[in-house]
Each structure stands twice: as structure tokens, then as C-alpha cells.
Structure 1
Amino acid sequence: MAFSHRDHHPQRSAASHPEDVGRTLDFGEAFAFAQQQVRNLITKAPGQMPTYTEHGTWALTDDPWAPTWSGGFLTGMMWIFADRTQDPWWRQQAERYSELLEPRKADTGTHDIGFVLEPSWGRWYDLDPNPRGRDVLIEGGRTMAGRLEAPGGYLSTWVDPGSTFIDVMMNVGIIFRAAAYSDDPELHKIAVTHCHTTRRYLMRGDGSTLHEAWFDTATGEFLRSATHQGWRADSTWSRGQAWAIYGFTTAYEHTGDHSMLDTARRAADYYIGHTPDHGVPPNDWNDPSPAQPFEASAAAIAAAAMLRLAGCLSSTADADRYRDYGLRILTTLRSTEFIAADTPGWQGIIRHATYHQRNGLGIDESVMWGDYYFLEALDLAAGQTRQGGPQV
């Protein structure tokens, strides 16, 4: 019998109000704590770009599963601090770490070029447009576009030429940037093609997502779904769902294509409809016995994605719905059940995240993207407040 995504809603009754545990930091306190944690890391381990913690301590080793992809998140946090504080020290660190990442612009061994360069060189260019940053982003976008498998119309993963992930939607933005900066319509077409292939094969009718799709590289025929990090191939991995919300929102921002906006909204509605009121899902909604009640990095990504999605909507009611949900997640993550401000010795910012459950990596820990997207969501929410938006 086919698995139904309506059969299970785990964790609705368990840990229903984790935000009530301990205290809740205000925005200023949360930013200050995040700065302290990042400063400690880069002072004690200069030049290191870890992926996840082990017992709360950053693991200063190469990523054992995927080509290293988290340096952009650490660097992106420095750029957010530099922008918010105008502190020359943060600007110096952000530039230094961005320069360490510059060689990745030509890295053909990963599908995560956008993850590496968008938070680092992308934020640098957004704050200070300059020819060097433009050239780095163009080359990075061209490298990412080189992963196109033309028969299937998708960007392949590092796993195999026949594979694509929902995660890859987070890496099309740099191709759109490169297309715009170099006035290259072919690059734009490649990014749009991948988005439409993802909509067709990795999005289900109920708004949920596949983690991985496999294709025949010769004919482009879709072969099967799979997962590396979810419960089953036909279930819904929560971080992948958050990538979809964010990735299709980004695609809409670059194209104005309302099919992208509709896809982002359907993914967001699925997330909201299957997650407890506090906004933090388990690793996979369909897992009947999840090992952990929370995957906080999925929530952090979703918070940033919901706030960005709200900014794309003209209807006040629709925008308010996604914005309010993003702020609700932030309230939960600012509680000391999640933010590590009252956990002595913990080196990350947000606890209860998971990197790779199946491989036993970074389970119930901090992960660098969880910290980054939490901070991005804080920054987005604070910016909306400064512009007269909702109080946070």
C-alpha cells in the first residue's frame, strides 16, 4: 500500500511548548550572544570552517559525508555582524574569510557553490558592489551551471550525474546572479530549467518534497525517488522542505515567475500544516518514531524563508500569515531550550539541530547553517521592524 503523508503527524503532543522552557532572549541579546560565539570560534580556531558540533564543541575536521560546504555560513554571519555593528573588526574578518573561500568559485566537485559563495561573496557584493566580487560570483555561477544534465534538465549533485537534490534549489541563485551580472541569457535559462524540473519531479501534489530524484542521464527519464537523510524515499525530510520554501522564493525574486511563488507557498503551507505550533519539526514528519523531537536547523531555514516569502507578497493578509509564522519560529528559537546562552561550554548558537541522522553525524547538536539562517532570520525581522513592520 502506498505511504500516505496524512497518516502520521508525530510530535504534535510531545514537547508542545519548548519555548516556555527557561527564558527567551530579546533580539539584541540574541545578536550579542551570536557575536560572542562566532568571535570565540574564529579567535580560538582561526581559519577553520566547521560543519557541526560534537557534544557542543565544533568538530574541526573535514566533513565526513559531503564536500565541505559550510564555510559560507560562518562567513555570512560575519558579514551580518559587520553590517549591523559597523565594527571594522567584523568587516576585516568577513573579508578575510571570504577570500579563503574564493578558490571555491571554480570547484567542480560540489553542487553547493551557492551555499559557499552567496552568504560570503554575495553579501560582500550586496554591501559593497565591486568588480572583484562581481567576477567571483560570475565564475561561481558559471561553475554551478556547468552541472547541467541537459537531457533531464537538472543540475546534478556530487553524488552522481544522475542525481539531483531538493537542496540544489538553494544553489540556483548564484546562477541567476551570474546571468544578470554578465548579461548571459543562457545562464538564466539553465537556472530556470532546473527550477521547473524540480517543480515537476521533486515537489508532490500536497506541497511536500522528495529529497533526491534519479534520472537516466542519456534520455532524461525520471527513474526513482530516494533519500539520504529522511525516513524513507516517499516521506518528507523537514530540512529539504525548508530548502524548497527558501529556494523557490529566491527563484521568484530573480524571475518574477508566479509558478515559482506558488511552489514556495505550497511548500510553506505544508510545513505549517505538519509542524507543531512552536514551529520546530522533527527530522522527518512521517517517521513514526523519530529519534529526536526537533530539527532546529530546518526551523531556522524556514523562519528566514517565511520572512522572505512574506516580502514577495502583495496581499497584506497573505504576507502577514507567513511573516507571523516566521516570527513564531524565532520566538521559539530564542528560548534557551534552543539558543545556547544558558548552556555553559556550548560553542554553537542554536541547539537541537541535526546534520545527518542516518550517518550519525551532528545529531541534536549545532550546525553551521542552522546558526546562519537563525541569524539571517533575526536580521530580516529586525529590518522589517526598523522599516515600520511588526514589532519583534
Structure 2
Amino acid sequence: MTRLFFILTMFLMVACASPKKQKPTFSPTEMLDLSVLKTKKTLKSLKITDSFPRNISKDKQDWGLVGVKDWCSGFWPGVLWHAYEYSGDASIKKGAEEFTLPIKPIAYSPAQNHDIGFMVYCSYGNGYRLTGNQEYKDVLLSAADTLATLYNPAVGSILSWPEKTDEYAHNTIIDNMMNLELLFWASKNGGDKKLYDIAVSHAEVTMKYLVRADNSVYHLGEFNDITGEFIKGHTHQGYADESMWARGQTWGLYGFAIAYRETGKEEFLNTSIKLADHFLNRLPEDGIPYWDFDDPKIPNAPKDASAATVAACGMLELSGLVKDKVLKAKYEDAARNFIKILSSENYFSGDTNQALLLHSLGHYPNNTEIDVPIIYADYYYMEALSRLRKLETVNTSDLAMKK
């Protein structure tokens, strides 16, 4: 009996002394590994290079495809370029090249909308960044000139949707802030210097009229196309004109951070900070935004993972721009938390379908792309993972140098 008691006592002591099993920490590298493998598998299944993934219906596993003129066409080649950047895989690079090439005509055709930036900069822009291909540079410069044809000097901003002028006169949407990066890039890489002025003017007009007093944003600003007078703020994809459409808020916070990076104008930085803080202050407890923060159906309203991915990228950009260490940590931590949650089994698709992320939302008022995977969520997820991995590499290097 004494011997048995001794054995049981020793067992309990060892058990208590053994370290408790810890939950695995979030690893951008691990998620990039998984994402690259999945992207490569999807690439093998896509045979027509002028048809691009956009969304996956709830009853499907494979991407629904769209043509080159769809505003989302540049995101899939952008995903491939990010996957190639991390992996160095030659087959992924070949796929990125093949899916980038069909977008070229957009740069040389009359501008149909402001989305030229999304279409060309996400594809050719990443391609040029990684390869230095001169042809890619030429396409980018032409695309910037094409986008600039939509600029209205009377208003001081780019016309976002020419096809909707009967409905909204001269319209400028918050999404357009993201397309200014193409103009900024072109102005310092051989393009006309007026492209810089156009981008700055557009950002200033957007800041003045689309950013509201409470630091939320209108989706769309309507202006008189002759006098430039501001007429009214609208929504198009949000719940209501005065509501806070989640993805629009993130287009703004990211776009103004880029505008500050390219100009050094403090008012753009301050605007980005205000939009970011307002977004963070209104987040629900689980850390992922509802599609619109003012939907009266909350908490039974759908979430939008894509808004979280854009927010993560925007806050990583912002973290690299602010000088205050507390703010740097705040925005980096927020971005990391978004991506950590999106990398969980609740949002990362795993074997569910070809996408990387579940639960995005496109156009709720139009009842399209509700709670489905959407390609731009995957694009900004890959961008955020890549940024986080690079940050960890830099931080590890800095730590090693200090030792």
C-alpha cells in the first residue's frame, strides 16, 4: 500500500510539473505556407487566363470567373504575385505572368471607371515590383494616363463611375482613394508630374467632402460637374447614406495613409488616423466588422472579412508612418489581430473551397455576394501576411543585432 501511494504521489508531482499544452501562436509564415499551397492547387485548375476568379457561390467549391473588364480582374494575378514573392516558385510566377498579360488592354483603352488602379496596379504593379519588367512599367504608365482622363478640374476629383452620371452627376467614391497610388507611382517613374497634382487634389476633395464630422465616410460624394459644388453624400453599397459602410471606411483609412506616404501632407496622415481609430472603436467584440456598422439587424447581420483584410493592410501602412511608438504598436497589433482571427477555422476556408477566406460581402443592397468568399479578401489577406512576415524578419534581425 505504501509503495502504491508513493507511485501515485510521484505521478501527480510529474504531472503538475509538466508544462501545460499551449495553444499554437499565430504564424504569418505558416499561413503563407498554407495559402501558397492552396493558391498553387487552384492555379492548376484554371486553364483560361483571361477569366479571373471573383467569388464562390454558397453551393459551389470552385471560383466563379469574370472577364478582364470586371473591376476585380487584377486581384487574382495579384494573389499569384504575392504567392510567388514568398515562395519563389517558378510555376506560380509563370501563372502570375499569364494572368497579368490579358489585363494590358485596360491601360490602352478609354477609361470606363476608376477601377483601372485596382485592375492594373494589383497585377502589373506587383509584377513590376518583383521583376522590373520594362513592359510592365510601360503598361503602368499608360494606365495612369488613362485613369487621369477621368479627372474633372472643376470638381478637383476623378469621376468614379461615368456610367452613373445620370444618377449621381459627378460622383467620387471613397474606394477611389486606393487608385491614387497608381498616379503617385507614375508621377515619379517617368510619367507626367501632373499625375501627382491630380492625386493630391482628389485626396483633398475626398477628405473635405466624404469624411464626415464623426470620422466615418460617405461611400459616394455627388458634385455639380460644371461648378464643382458639393451636392450630397450618398451610399451605394452601404445600409444608408449616413451609415458607416465597413469596407468604405477601410478604403479610406488605407488610401489616406498612402496619400500621406507619397506627399508628406500631415492632414492626410491625421485623416487616416481618425478613420482607423473610429473603425477600431466601433468593432464588435469578436474583432471582425459587420458589413455596415449601422445595420439595425446587428448582431444578426453578416460580417465582411474583406473589410478586415483591407483594414489590416491599412493599419500596417499607418504603423510604418506614425512616429509615436505607442501608435505604431497600436496599429500593428490591430492588424495582427485581424489577420490572426481571419486565419482561424472560423474564417480560413481550409478544404471548404478554393478560396483562402470565407464570409465576405460585396453588395448587400443589391443582394449580391452575401457571405461568400470574394477574391479581393484573399488579395489583401496575402498582402497583410506578407507585410507581417517582413515585420517579423526585421524585428528578429534588430533583436539579434542588439545582443
TM-score normalised to structure 2 length: 0.86
Match of 2:272 among 264, 270, 287: 264
CA offsets per residue over residues 128-185 of structure 1, 9 Å max, x none?
3242222111111111111111111111122325111100001111011111112522
Q: Please, which of 319, 340, 348 is the counterpart of residue 310 of structure 1?
A: 319
Q: How do residues 285-304 of structure 1 correspond to structure 2 at under 5 angstroms? A: 285-290=293-298, 292-304=301-313
The answer to whether the aligner puts 1:57 opposite 2:61 as a matched pair is: yes
8 Å contact from structure 1 (residues 226, 233) kept in 2: yes
What's the offset of the Cα at 1:57? 3.4
- Name the CA distance, whole Å, in 2 between partners of 1:70 and 1:24: 33
Give the secondary structure class of the aligned counterpart of 2:262.
helix
1:345 Cα deviation from its structure 2 partner: 3.8
Change (3 A) 1:292 1:349: farther
Please say if 1:377 is aligned against 2:384: yes
Pick aligned residue for 1:353 from 356, 360, 377: 360
Alignment of 1:79-98 (within 5 A): 79-98=81-100
Write the letter of the residue equivalent to 2:154.
Answer: P
Equivalent of 1:331 in 340, 345, 356: 340
Asked if 1:153 corresponds to 2:156, the answer is yes
After superposition, the Cα gap between the structure-2 partners of 1:282 and 1:357, relative to the gap in structure 1 and judged at 3 Å, is same
In the aligned structure 2, how far is the partner of 1:361 from the partner of 1:62?
15
Q: 2-side partners of 1:347 and 1:134: how far apart?
A: 31
2:331 pairs with 1:322: yes
For the residues of structure 1 that align with 2:277 and 2:244, how far apart are their CA atoms?
14
The correspondence of residues 179-328 of structure 1 with structure 2, limited to 5 A, is 179-182=187-190, 184-290=192-298, 292-328=301-337
Q: Distance in 2 between matches of 1:218 and 1:178?
A: 28
Q: CA deviation at 1:39?
A: 2.5
* Structure 1 portions without partners, runs of 5+: 1-21
Please give the secondary structure, in 1, of the residue aligned with 2:143: helix
Q: Is the 8 A contact 1:24 1:336 kept in 2?
A: no
Question: CA RMSD of the aligned region, Å?
Answer: 2.1
| Inter-partner Cα distance in structure 2 for 1:214 and 1:204 | 14
Q: Which has the higher contact order (CA 8 A, sep 6+)?
A: 1
| Alpha-carbon offset, residue 29 of structure 1 | 3.5
Q: Say whether residues 1:135 and 2:133 are aligned partners.
A: no
Distance 1:24 1:296 in 2: 21
Structure with the greater alpha carbon radius of gyration: 2
Taking the aligned partners of 1:209 and 1:24, their CA distance within structure 2 comes to 35
Matched, 1:106 2:108: yes
Would the alpha carbon gap of residues 78 and 62 (structure 1) be closer, same or farther in structure 2, given more than 3 Å must change? closer
What's the CA shift string for 1:263-313, capped at 9, x where partnerless?
Answer: 111110111010024431001101111453411100011011111110111
How far did residue 338 of structure 1 move?
A: 0.3
User: Counterpart of 1:35?
Assistant: 36
1: CA distance, partners of 2:271 / 2:209: 12
Q: Give 1:325 shift.
A: 0.5
Check whether the contact 1:76–1:123 (CA below 8 A) recurs between aligned residues. Answer: yes
Q: Once the 2 structures are TM-superposed, how far is the Cα of residue 33 of structure 1 from its aligned partner? A: 2.8
| Whole-angstrom distance in 1 between the partners of 2:286 and 2:143 | 37
Q: Are the aligned partners of 1:23 and 1:336 in contact in 2 as well (CA < 8 Å)?
A: no
CA distance in 2, matches of 1:114, 1:183: 15
Deviation at 1:23, TM superposition (A): 8.9
**What is the Cα deviation at residue 334 of structure 1?**
0.7
Label 1:24 to 1:40 Cα distance change in 2 as closer, same or farther (>3 A).
Answer: farther
1:16 aligned residue: none
Q: Given that residues 52 and 73 in structure 2 are in contact (C-alpha distance below 8 angstroms), is that contact kept between their aligned partners in structure 1?
A: yes
Question: Is the 2:83–2:382 contact (alpha carbons within 8 Å) kept by the matching residues of 1?
Answer: no
Deviation, 1:58, is 4.4
1:75 corresponds in structure 2 to: 77
Q: Distance in 1 between matches of 2:241 and 2:62?
A: 31
Deviation at 1:243, TM superposition (A): 0.4
Secondary structure of the residue aligned to 1:214 is: strand
Distance 1:358 1:235, change over 3 A: same
Structure 2 unaligned blocks of 5 or more: 1-22
SS in 1 for 2:221: strand
Displacement after TM superposition at 1:314 (Å) = 1.8
Distance 1:388 1:298 in 2: 27
Conserved 8 A contact 2:69-2:106: no
Match in the other structure for 2:46: 45
Offset of 1:125 from its aligned partner?
A: 1.6
Once residues 40 and 123 of structure 2 are traced to their aligned partners in structure 1, the CA distance between those partners, rounded to angstroms, is 17
Q: Matched residue of 1:340: which SS? A: coil
What secondary structure does 1:181 align onto?
coil
Post-superposition offset of 1:255: 1.0
User: 1:166-206 deviations in whole A, cap 9, x for unaligned?
Assistant: 00001111011111112522111111000000000110122
Structure 2 counterpart of 1:362, one-letter code: E
